[in-house]
Amino acid sequence: MSESRHVISSARLIGVATLLSRITGMVRDMVLASWFGATWVADNYNFAFQVPNLFRRLFAEGAMSAVFVPVFSGTLEQEGRESGWRLLARTLALLVTTLVAILIVAELAVVALWFAFPGDDPTVAADRRLLVALTALMLPFMLFISVVALLSSILNCVGCFGPPALMPLVFNLVTLGGIWFIGPLLSRTDPTVQIFGVAASVVLAGVIEVLALWPVMRRHGVPWRWQFDLKDAKVRVMMRRMGPVILGQGVLMIGVFLDTAIAKGLTHPPNTAERFALLGWSLPFPLEEGAITVLTVAQRLYQFPLGVLAISLAVAVLPTLSRIAARKDWVAWTGEMRSSLRLAIFAGLLAGVMMLLLSEPIVRLLFEYRKFTAADTPRAARALACYGIGMWAFCALHIVLRGFYSIADVRTPLKISCVLLPLNLLISLLVVWLPALREAGFGLSTSLTASINVVVGLTILQNRSRVTIFDRRMLAALGRMLAAGAISAGCVLVARPLILSSSASSALLRAVDVFGSLTVGVAGYLAAAWVLRLPEARLIFQRRRRAEPACAHAA
C-alpha cells in the first residue's frame, strides 16, 4: 500500500474514533449547558477548564506529538526499536519530572490568588474565588493528559491509531458521570457546589485514560522504563524544540484562551455596577453574563468537524511526512503535503458553509433546553457563524504546522504566531464593542488571523522545500472547491424553506430541519465535487483495497 493510501486509511480510522469522541463530547456539553445554563457559574467553570485544557492542547496534543513523533519515528526508522525504547524511557522520565514541578508551582500560584480578593465587592470576590477554586482542582489534569499524549504518540508511531483516538471518549463519559452523579451527590440544589463534582470528574478522567492505555502498550511490545538522562542528545533536542512549538501553536490555541480571558474581564458581573474604570476612563461592560458559555458552545461546535476531519488527518500524516523528510525525498514530501492540504480544505470548506447557513438552528437543536434559553441561542449562533468563516483555514493550519514539524522546523511557526497573536488580540478588543458582534467578534478575529497564518506558512514551506505546493493544478482544484461550496449553499437556501421552520419548538422538528438541511447541503457539495472532478469526494468514501488491523506494528 502506498504512503498516501496508508495515511488516508489511518486518517479514516482516527476519524471514526474521533467522531465517537466528538459525539459524546457534544452530549457532555449539551448536558452541561442544560444543567447550568449561560450563567456566571458555567462561565467560571468554562474559564477554569481552559487553563488545564490550554496546557493539554499546547503541550500534550500539540508539542508532544510535534516534537516527539519526528525524533521517535526517525529513531525507529534508522536505529531500530531498542534505541526507540531507550528514547521513550528517557523522555517519559523527563516529562513527568518537569510536569510535577510545573504543577506544584501552578498550584501555589493559584492558592495565592485565593487571598487576593478580600477587599473587593462581595459578589465580585465570590465570583473570582469560585474561579480560583475550580482552577486549582482541575490543574492536575494537565499531568495525566500529557502522559496520555506521549503514550498515544508512541502507539501512533508503531501503527496503532484506534485506542489513542478513543481516549477523549473516556474523558467525555467520565465527565458526564460527574454532571449526572457526582455533582448531585454534593448538592441537589446549589449549582455552585454541584460544579465541583464536574471539576473533580475531569481529573478522574485523566487517571482512567492513563490506566486504559497501559495494557495497549504492553500488547504492542512497548516496554515501560524510567531512565533519567539529560545528556541524551535527542532528548536535549526535543527540549530545545518544545518551547518554540508550544508558542508556535499560538493563533488557534493561545488565542482562544486569551479570548476567554478577555471575555471574562469584559463581562458584567451580576448585581454589580454596569461600568468599569480603565486608565481613567469609565466604560460600560460590552458583554453580559454567559458570554464565556455561549463562546464555549460556539467553539465546541466548530471544533467538532475540525477534530473529526482535519486533526485526524494531521495526526495520521505527521509520521509519514517525518519518514519521507528523513529520506530527503522532497518531491514525495511535497506531494503528500499537497494531497493532505487539498483534503483538509475540501472538508473545511463544506463545514464552514454549513456553519454560516445553519448556525442558529444547530445551536437551537443541540443546546436550547432547560437553563440554556432562547435568548442565549442567537448569541452562540453569531459566534459559530464567525468561526465558520475561517473553518477552511483551521483545517489547513493543522496540516501546515505538521509540515514544519516534519522537517524539524519549530521556530518558523513560532515567529508567525508572535506576529499574528497581537493582531488577533487587537481585532478582538476592537470588534467586541460592536453591538452586532459582541462575543462573536472573538470568532471573527480568530478566523482572520488563522487565514493569514495558513497563507504565510505555506509560502515559507514552498521556499524551504523548493518544490511548489500551490501549483496550477492545486489552484484550479481550490477554485472548483469554492464553486462546489457555492452550489451547496444554493441548495440549502432553496431547500430549507421547503423542509421546516427552525423556530419549531419540538426537538423532533428541530432535528428534521437541521439534518434535512445538512443532508441537502452535503449532497449538493459532493455531487458538485463529483461533476467538477474533484478526487477528494472519492477519497473520503473510498474503501481500502485490503483490510488492515486497527493496530499493527510498524515495519
Ordered mean pLDDT values, 10 residues apiece, the chain (555 residues): 56 72 88 91 91 73 69 78 83 83 88 67 77 91 86 79 84 94 92 95 94 88 76 79 65 73 85 76 87 91 81 78 84 86 91 94 91 92 95 92 84 83 89 91 92 92 77 88 95 86 68 92 93 79 41 36
Please name which of 76, 65, 152 lies closest in space to residue 406, comparing C-alpha atoms. 65
For residues 434 and 441, the answer to whether their CB atoms sit within 8 Å is yes
Neighbouring-strand partners of residue 277: 282
Write down the pLDDT at residue 552: 37
The Cα 493–Cα 447 span in angstroms is 24
| pLDDT tens readout for residues 411-428 | 888 788 888 888 988 999
| pLDDT tens readout for residues 331-342 | 888 888 888 899
* 551 secondary structure, DSSP code: B
User: What's the CA dihedral at 365, 366, 371, 377 to 10 degrees?
Assistant: -60
* 188 secondary structure, DSSP code: S
Amino acid type, 513: D
Write down the pLDDT at residue 533: 87
Write down the pLDDT at residue 550: 36
Write down the pLDDT at residue 500: 67
Please name which of 384, 390, 345 lies closest in space to residue 366, comparing C-alpha atoms. 384
Please name which of 496, 157, 450, 129 lies closest in space to residue 320, comparing C-alpha atoms. 157
How far, in whole angstroms, is CA 252 from its chain's centroid? 8
Write down the pLDDT at residue 301: 92
Write down the pLDDT at residue 195: 95
* 533 secondary structure, DSSP code: T
Q: 188 exposed, middle or buried (CB, 10 Å; 0-12, 13-18, 19+)?
A: exposed
Write down the pLDDT at residue 492: 94
Write down the pLDDT at residue 548: 37
For residues 233 and 42, the answer to whether their CB atoms sit within 8 Å is no
Q: Which three cell numbers stand for residue 374?
A: 432562547
The Cα 58–Cα 146 span in angstroms is 10
